Amino acid sequence: MGSRLLPLVLATAALAAGALGLGGLALWIGLAAVPAAAAAAFVAASDVLEGRPSLLRAVTSGLALALLVLGSAVRENAPAGASPSPLATWALLFALFAYGVPLVVWVFEPVRVPRPAEAQRRLRPAEVDDLLSRAA
């Protein structure tokens, strides 16, 4: 099983390198994040196919993979010497958000309030007698 944190760390590093103005480094780190993200998405999809409850992780990993590919493609096609397109930065940022969604759901899962079962009303003595006479 691949590491689920590796694509997250690489996407964070690519975003940080892009924010620091190191466009070439951000491109290469983003390209390195794509196979790691693909591996994490494939593992999550196979977990769903095996019947494990990981649908949210599979969907968010697939979405993050698509966003990483988009960000890398936009950054690669930017003119030489020009600042990267904001779309590349936003794609990386939304990929990080997509990787964070399962964590947020996991943190807030215990907050679910269990609904109490409906209270059964007590039978009146006449209803009890009626039920007993039908049973006999």
| Tens-digit pLDDT profile for residues 63-106 | 999 999 999 999 888 777 777 788 988 999 999 999 999 888 88
Distances (CA, A) of 37 to 48, 96, 104, 119: 17, 11, 19, 49
DSSP state of 90: H
Considering only CA atoms, give the Rg of the chain: 26
Q: Looking at residue 28, what is its pLDDT?
A: 93
> What is the rounded average pLDDT of the residues 47-51?
91
For residue 22, which phi and psi values (nearest 5 degrees)?
-95, 75
For residue 82, which phi and psi values (nearest 5 degrees)?
-90, 160
| Whole-number average pLDDT of the chain | 86
Question: Has residue 14 got a pLDDT over 70?
Answer: yes
Confidence of residue 1 (pLDDT cuts 50, 70, 90): very low
Question: Has residue 35 got a pLDDT over 70?
Answer: yes
Q: Report the predicted TM-score, pTM, of the whole model to 2 decimal places.
A: 0.74
> What is the rounded average pLDDT of the residues 18-27?
87
